[in-house]
Structure 1
Amino acid sequence: MIDRSLTLRFLSASTLAIACAQPALAQESIDSSDIEATGAEQADNSMLDVIVVTANRREENLQDVAVSAATISADTVKTIFDSGADVTALAGRVPGLFVESSNGRAAPRFYIRGLGNTDFDLAASQPVSVVMDDVVLENVSLKSFPIFDVERIEVLRGPQGTLFGRNTPAGIVKIDTTKPGDEFAVQGSLSYGSFDTVSIDGGVTVPLVPGLASVRLSGLWQQRDDWVDNGFTGEKNAYGAYSDIAGRAQLLLTPTDRLSILGSYSVRDLDGTSTLFRANILGPNSNELNENYDRDTVYYDAGGGNEAKYKAEIATVKAEYEADFATLTSITSWADSEGSSRGDIDGGNAVSGPGFIPFQSDTKDALSLDQFTQEIRLASNSGGLFEWQVGGFYFDSDFDVTTVGFDFPPPVTVNHTNESWAVFGQVTGEVTPELKLTGGLRYTEDDKDFFVRDAADPQARSVSDERISWDLAAFYELSGDASLFARVASGFRAPTIQGRDVAFFNPPSVATSEKIMSYEAGLKSELLNRRIRFNLAGYYYTIDDPQFSAIGGADNLVQLVNANKGRGYGFEVDSAFQITPDFLITAGTSWNKTEIQDNQLAVGTCLQCNVRDPLVNIGGTDRALVDGNPFPNAPEWIADFTARYAVPISAQGELFAYTDWTYQGATNFFLYESAEFNSDDQFEGGLRIGYAKFDGSLEVALFARNITDEDNVKGGIDFNNNTAFVNDPRVIGVSVRFQH
């Protein structure tokens, strides 16, 4: 095995050194007439850019795809990561998408249209799939892999079970990184801000043999110093620091015009701070932050410094051969992840609290994961009246999760394995010049096994299921400016085993497959010579046996449960307005209504909060009936807004101001409803002011993230004290971007 730390440092150092050294050389190769021509073209460009998506595993105009989808551009990604943010910063960047984490930068949880999983366990499954460069990142630790040197991020809303496999009933976050090309290219982004926050993202393509071989090296470094005090021990600047380093090397070989082979190797090394839980900062009888809350201070007597350390590597080989009638694609990938995080889970101390803490908890969870995937796909070449694709997919993962208590409970290691395979196909036909129909079918078999290592009673569990997923879509072009689409899709999330509670002397829990039927229809339009883009989708879905995680309560359990049914409905709007060549506005919003439908499902509740649900006594313990409640962490409203206004000051460049805002409406944190564990009306904004060249070769800006310094509660810990965690503080800094 290649030494990961050495490789990581080499990739990052090489990439950033080359990237930082190139701007001066690049400028020498561009004469003033080239710059003036580029600037004039930009000044005359009053149309919106065409958005390319790969929802059907081939590049298409977003406006021609019968699915509710949205994209996040490479520039937007750089902007929201200026302050060193992690993948949770994607929350609210497009309608319907929510991301949060109670595991710091190590294990994010994704939600689309209200569907997600609040389970904090490292073995948790999610109904939102994250796919990076055509490789599924199934485990939560892989989902946290840093995003850098990207071409675009696509968010495909609704079940995508035909082409992308099981565990996609909610949708997909699809990340496409920048690939090697035939010409030298370099880009870099450097920022420095409050708390000594540094974020550096760079990539360089170097053709080795023109037309035959090229390489791209990419790197990311994010870091922040400690800034949170420990009020219990008196230690200053004790928490909050992180160093997250990642690198990627890609080699593209094109031995013939028909054959291409792309090899990729990515590595990551995280050394940071796990989530800072804060005891009794909510209520009583209110979701407002109280006098126990101080953003700059926690009161810990345990947690070992709340360290989080993870390493990961992903190696992929993608080969494509284009025959006369179709293209054969093979994608082989290996991934591993290992690390641990530890925290003062109760969020305080037994002496001064703050507030009443029934019992202390200092816990560390560790992961050791291996994943292998193989996909083979044969797809007709684009351009005909009839397009098709067929393929097969194999998935295998094996990982250990170790839970350690300090000094209770004793360490316990459990093993999870998951093997799955599938065959799939999709057909698109042009019925008339205006009407296209698409149909897809996928058969999946999924098997999971669980056991406890080094235990007299292994409590082994096995689950399996086989399912057929399908979808049918129609796309009708009303005119050159507007189209209608409708889609019906099924999907499922495979059975799941939750074994973390074995460490706390409870048996593992099992949830059967959840099955979804989704219906959506919408309008896609580009008006006034592509100066306005307005896309609207409405949807309705039902779920049989939805999987939920009942977490905490008086029993302090983490248990999988199946509700009888669930449903959701709402709409999504994505829009953009090129008001002038120098003034661009984008706006999006989604309304999402979800409901648990099970009049028998009862779950444990907190002791110190005010529960709003009816209570029923089971075995001497009061439990809440959750029938009719919204899904956990399903914001009813999400909205995003950006505006960029520029003033040309020369033939080469302009002064600009850019602002971006996200809004999150009412959100319930748990299965039960209480006065404390929910949030409403949260927003965050950012601002960039600076100078940019028309050709994109240079940009210098001042920036601010969370510019109004909002204190937003992002989640709670049901630990019988009203513990919660909050968003990042305001970060102000300067950034430089360049490319050639």
Structure 2
Amino acid sequence: MFVGVLVAAPVSAAVLEEVVVTARKRVESTQEIATSITTFTGDQAAALGIKRSTDLAKLTPGLNAKYSVGLESPIFTMRGVGLNDYSSINNPSVGVYVDDVFIPFIPMMNSQVYDIERIEILKGPQGTLYGRNTTGGAIKFVSRKPTAEKDFRARLDYGSWETIELEAAGGGAITDTLNVRVAGLTRQRDSGYQYNRLTDEKVGNQSRLAARVILDWNPTESFNAQLNLHAGRDESDAALREHVGFTDPVTGETPCPAVLAGLRGDENGNCVDTTGYADNDDDPYASDINNRFGDEVSNQSHGGSLVLNWDLPRATLVSVTGYDEFTQDLVDDTDAAPTTQFETIRREEIDVLQQELRLVSDDSWGFDWLVGFFFSDDQIRAVNTQAVDDLYGSVVRVSNDQETTSYALFANVEWPFAERWSLTGGIRLTTEEKRRQTVSEDLNPYGTSVLNPTDGPFVYVVDDTTIDDDDVSGNIGLTYHPNDDVMLYATASRGFKSGGFKGNISFNRFQVGPYDPEELFAYEIGFKSMLLDNSLMFNAAAYYYDWRDFQAYSLVQLEIPVVVLTNAGDAEVKGFEADVMWRPTENLELGAGINWMNGEIVEFDALEGGQDNTGKQLANAPDRMISAIGKYYFPDFSERFDAYVQATATYQSKVFFEIQNNPVNSESGYWLADLQIGFTTKDGKWDAAFWARNLFDKAYIAEARYVDLRVFPNANTYGEPRSVGVSVNYRY
């Protein structure tokens, strides 16, 4: 969706801009790819206010984004398929790639979006061409690359809560064979929209920095090398949560009937938690959080990649090497109360090394082919400490040291076997080894506790386990062009995601895992079209997913409630998706997208002491998602300026954040709207825009933490309220 959104002056005819991508690791138009794909150019992303990866979900029907901790560590779910795991040691089901380098852990996905050439969102299993575990889909960010031409651009934003954001990038030729591009971003916020009543402080300060240098070397016509060096830092306030109690203060009934009915704020009858605390002021942005362990999230990252291209006789050899280091220190007052019931202190240290080699055919063959090899080695060291003083009189900690080595061979072929017909097929052979060493323990700092009657620290689990997974995945597709403007296609594919381990506290060996791989059989039929002299793009697809042994958290009621990350059973997803972009005149562009689906657990493997979730809706999988955009351009607004107005609206139906489908852990359907009014100089060098995001100030839950409704309170994190601001851009 959003192909050809007007950003600067319109072209002379009312036609849509063709967007060229590398989704299948060769250059081609989005309209020639036999799969559902959403694409944003860099200018479109800036005009639509895409600042972080999670912003894509507002504008991409079928893509859902929530957070695992506060407003950090995003979890993506594509067409109902995702891993709803808030620990840091497991790989996501929706793969995120930056310049062809896979991002294997969710804490690493908080990075800012800046100086982007385009963003590609591929829906459905992508195991043939893309790295690891992409059963749900892939999100690919492509940075702007250096050119010989001198180029400079800068953007300055000022908005609500004293937020200043500056982005600048530029480059050009250093020598006849060497080009450079330097880009950087800083975001500083000195206030916030949240309020801590206990400390009488505004919450929401941000200090984010990111920088990137790309060197492009062309010593000969047949060889190219690109070196990408990047680094980032984030020192920001941890987001506050809204506390939701679970006991009726009058009758003592647990769970509280008002909470079970989904009532919140002053409507839920002042339901309290175990300590008797209630937060019922009906203000989702105010809390009483004690900040016992601090109130900041600190991320540090740096790394680099090297991409080599050799033009050989009848083929191109491509090498992609990537290395990244990432550390995170995070505190989360998970109980959202002035007491210490469930508070988390996390630290992660991550090292990732990747290598991919691929040989890509040129145009001399009469058909397209690609073969490749992929290797990755990632290590994560994670320590998660949870203070449960006022519930159990203790502090527990789990330490994980995990290394994963993955190898794959892959191939893909597209054969035009008749004048208007072509057949596509791909295969991937994967072997993955994962070793995890873990210690789960009760620190027992106060002597005996409810959890541990012995005096002093007590180790629940020490485990050193290695798992090996081998798999063959692939796809096959058929396309037909009844004419030059329409393509029909049908595809079948199989996705694979390897097994793993639970990363959070465990009290016995059963709870630590491991869990087994999951597999997804996906079937899709659709069409893509460019009609009315290329002024109308209309694409649609129907899909069916058979998701087997899907990985999810399952609740077990023991002496205390615990969740186990395991293979929960089988699920099905049935859906329909459509995108339309229409440019009826040179000055007007309209677009809309819809995703309707039914994601249901058809067979649930309930654990002893846990509930049966057969028939429940999948987590983070709303039945309907709608997005719409309109942009009108005023080319003769004044002698010096052109002008435009742009509006977007998005809708998401009711969503459950966990597979238990409890009303307290859900969000009803809601609309969001953004508005932007801009002015551009006639030469296109300067433009300024006044914008409002979440125009109607909708309060909506962006993330919810649910354990049970017996001991731990529920805690919700709300998305940003309305913000307004101004952006000034300069291009040279």
Indicate yes or no: 2:438 matched with 1:452: yes
Verify the 8 A CA contact 2:440 2:505 in the aligned structure 1.
Answer: no
Q: For 1:158-210, what per-residue CA distance to the aligned partner results, in whole angstroms no more than 9, with x for missing partners?
A: 11111113301111001111011121112222110110112222211221013
Q: Counterpart amino acid of 1:51?
A: V
What's the TM-score, normalizing by structure 1? 0.87
User: 2:207 maps to what in 1?
Assistant: 243
Query: Which amino acid counterpart does residue 232 of structure 2 have in structure 1?
Result: R
Superposition deviation, residue 694 in structure 1: 5.4
The one-letter code matched in structure 1 to 2:288 is Y
Partner SS, residue 611 of structure 2: strand
CA–CA separation in structure 1 for the residues paired with 2:507 and 2:210: 33
Q: Report deviation, 1:315.
A: 0.6
SS in 2 for 1:255: strand
Report the counterpart of residue 213 of structure 1 in structure 2: 178
Matches within 5 A, 1:292-303: 292=280, 293-303=282-292
Matching residue of 2:22: 54
Alignment match of 2:262 (pick from 270, 287, 296): 287
User: How far apart are the structure 1 equivalents of 2:70 and 2:170?
Assistant: 30
Structure 1's 425 and 663: CA in aligned 2 closer, same or farther, altered over 3 A? same
After superposition, the C-alpha distances for 1:532-588 in whole angstroms (9 at most, x for unaligned) are 000001100102211112369774434212123111110111110102111111111
State the distance in 2 between where 1:588 and 1:145 align: 27
Match of 1:26 in 2: none
Aligned-pair CA distance for 1:285: 3.4
Q: Which of 78, 81, 84 is the equivalent residue of 2:46? A: 78
**Conservation of the 8 A alpha-carbon contact between 2:102 and 2:131:** no
| Displacement of 1:295 | 3.8
Partner of 1:25: none
- Supply the AA of the counterpart residue of 1:731: S
Tell me the percent identity.
Answer: 26
Where 1:495 maps in the other structure, the secondary structure is coil
Deviations 1:116-144 (A, max 9, x none): 12211111321100011010011112222
Structure-2 change in CA distance of 1:77 and 1:447 (3 Å): same
Instruction: Indicate yes or no: 2:488 matched with 1:478.
Output: no
Deviation at 1:227, TM superposition (A): 2.6
Q: Quick check: 1:154 aligned with 2:120?
A: yes
- Contact 1:448/1:464, CA 8 A, preserved across alignment: yes
Tell me the residue number matched to 1:735. 727
Aligned partner of 2:356 in structure 1 is 375
Tell me the SS of whatever aligns to 2:129: helix
Letter in structure 1 aligned against 2:153: Q
Residue 492 of structure 1: how far off its partner (Å): 0.5
2:61 corresponds to: 95
Q: Deviations over 1:392-441 (max 9, x none)?
A: 00010011001123464254421011000001111111112211111111
Deviation at 1:382, TM superposition (A): 3.5
Residues 576, 711 of structure 1: alpha-carbon distance in 2 compared, 3 angstrom cutoff: same
Deviation at residue 233 of structure 1 after TM alignment:
2.2
Conserved 8 A contact 2:424-2:476:
yes
Q: Which residue of 1 aligns with 2:187?
A: 222
Q: Tell me which amino acid in the other structure corresponds to 1:309.
A: S
Answer whether contact 2:368 2:415 (CA < 8 A) is retained: yes
Structure 1 counterpart of 2:312, from 300, 308, 323: 323
Q: Where do 1:54-453 residues align within 5 Å?
A: 54-81=22-49, 85-210=51-176, 212-228=177-193, 231-237=196-202, 239-280=203-244, 283-291=258-266, 292=280, 293-350=282-339, 360-382=341-363, 384-406=365-387, 408-452=394-438
Q: 1:571 to 1:430 in 2, by over 3 A?
A: same
Return closer, same or farther for 1:147/1:553 CA change in 2, 3 Å cut-off: farther
Q: Whole-Å Cα distance in 2 between the matches of residues 305 and 274 of structure 1?
A: 9
2:653 maps to which of 658, 665, 670: 665
Distance between the aligned counterparts of 1:246 and 1:198, measured in 2? 14
Contact 2:398 2:505 survives alignment (8 Å): no
Question: 1:454 Cα deviation (Å)?
Answer: 10
Alpha-carbon offset, residue 651 of structure 1: 6.7
Q: 1:647 aligns with which of 634, 639, 655?
A: 634
**CA apart distance, 1:93:** 1.3
Q: Identify the residue that residue 469 of structure 1 maps to in structure 2.
A: 473
Aligned to 2:623: 636
- Taking the aligned partners of 2:39 and 2:685, their CA distance within structure 1 comes to 23
Answer yes or no: is 1:685 the counterpart of 2:685.
no
SS in 2 for 1:709: coil
Partner amino acid, structure 1, of 2:236:
G
CA contact (8 A) 2:430 2:471 kept: yes
1:340, 1:522 → 2: CA distance? 45
Which position in structure 1 is the counterpart of 2:12? 44
Q: Structure 2 vs 1, CA of residues 297 and 383 (structure 1 numbering), >3 Å: closer, same or farther?
A: farther
State whether residues 99 and 110 of structure 1, in contact with CA within 8 Å, keep that contact through their aligned partners in structure 2. yes
State the partner residue of 2:455. Answer: none
Q: Is the aligned partner of 1:626 residue 2:631?
A: no
- Note if 1:495 corresponds to 2:499: yes
**Helix, strand or coil: the match of 1:510?**
coil
Deviation sequence 1:574-611 (CA, Å, 0-9, x none): 11010211111111110121111225425xxxxxxxxx
The one-letter code sitting in structure 1 at the alignment partner of 2:350 is: L
**In structure 1, what is the Cα distance between the partners aligned to 2:345 and 2:336?**
14
How far does the alpha carbon of each residue in 1:660-714 deviate from its partner, in whole angstroms, 9 at most, with x for none?
1221112111111222211222221111112124554221111111111100112
CA shift in 2, pair 1:699/1:551, >3 Å: farther
SS at match of 1:511: coil
Residue pair 2:314, 2:364 contacting (<8 A) in 1 also: no
* RMSD across aligned positions (CA): 2.3
1:562/1:702 Cα in 2 relative to 1: closer, same or farther (>3 Å)? same
Query: Would you say the 8 A contact 1:412–1:503 is kept in 2?
Result: no
- The gaps in structure 1 that reach 5 residues or longer are 1-37, 351-358, 603-617
The yes-or-no answer on 1:726 pairing with 2:718 is yes
Q: Is the 8 A contact 2:360 2:369 kept in 1?
A: yes
Q: Which of 606, 617, 633 is equivalent to 1:601?
A: 606
Give secondary structure in 1 for the equivalent of 2:310. Answer: strand
SS at match of 1:478: strand
Q: CA deviation at 1:723?
A: 2.1
**What is the Cα deviation at residue 463 of structure 1?**
1.3
Contact 1:86 1:105 in 2 (8 A): no
Q: Is the 8 A contact 1:499 1:509 kept in 2?
A: no
Q: State the alpha-carbon separation in 2 of the partners of residues 78 and 123 from structure 1.
A: 32
C-alpha distance in 2, partners of 1:503/1:682? 39
Question: In the aligned structure 2, how far is the partner of 1:712 from the partner of 1:281?
Answer: 19
Q: Distance in 2 between matches of 1:47 and 1:269?
A: 42
Find the residue that maps to 2:244 and give its secondary structure. Answer: coil
Higher mean C-alpha deviation, range 564-573 or range 392-401: 564-573
